[in-house]
């Protein structure tokens, strides 16, 4: 079932965001790029062509003024910046999810079912599959692959 999707121009999207309590900051040194902030989450949008709009920097929780990336480590989701990693709390995830849904609404992007259920990480890094795509000779040895060398005399017990 095909449906027609309303498209917003860059100016219409910016106005929608202002009307819905987003803080907007013009990107310094560039035209047609705006940083958005709400719920201590930030993202950036930019003009795409003459009238279109696209996401330039995907939503991330602000940590020390830097937009973090949400990474799923399999056992814990973390917010990672260039300087630090912080364990993601339920409040962080709720803010990210709410911000993302409102941003999609502003830009007339589809809201997918699995994304609407909760936050979706930008990267999934499970400890047993890290570097699995690199040649075997170049991979670091995992703890269970390391050979233990025992030195010294055998003792009788």
H-run or E-run covering 42:
strand 41-48
Q: What is the pLDDT of residues 75-128, one digit of tens each?
A: 788 899 899 999 999 899 889 988 888 888 888 877 776 666 556 665 555 555
Whether residue 4 is predicted with pLDDT greater than 70 in this model: the reply is no
Q: What is the pLDDT of residues 11-52, one digit of tens each?
A: 888 888 888 888 888 877 778 888 899 999 998 888 887 778
Separation between Cα atoms, residue 25 and residue 35, nearest integer Å: 5
For 4, 10, 16, 46, the CA distances from 7, given in Å and listed in that order, are 9, 10, 13, 15
Q: Where are the domains of the chain?
A: 10-126
- What predicted TM-score, i.e. pTM, was given to this entire model? 0.67
């Amino acid at each position: 079932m095909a449906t027609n999707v309303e498209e917003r121009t860059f100016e219409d999207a910016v106005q929608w965001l202002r009307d819905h309590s987003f803080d907007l900051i013009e990107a310094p040194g560039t035209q047609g790029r705006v940083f958005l902030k709400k719920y201590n989450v930030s993202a950036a949008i930019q003009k795409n062509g003459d009238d279109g709009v696209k996401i330039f920097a995907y939503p991330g929780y602000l940590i020390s003024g830097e937009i973090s990336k949400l990474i799923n480590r399999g056992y814990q989701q973390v917010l990672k910046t260039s300087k630090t990693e912080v364990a993601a709390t339920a409040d962080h995830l709720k803010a990210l999810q709410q911000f993302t849904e409102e941003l999609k609404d502003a830009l007339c992007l589809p809201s997918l079912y699995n994304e609407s259920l909760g936050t979706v990480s930008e990267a999934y890094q499970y400890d047993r599959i890290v570097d699995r795509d690199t040649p075997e000779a170049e991979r670091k040895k995992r703890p269970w692959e390391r050979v233990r060398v025992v030195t010294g005399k055998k003792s009788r017990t």
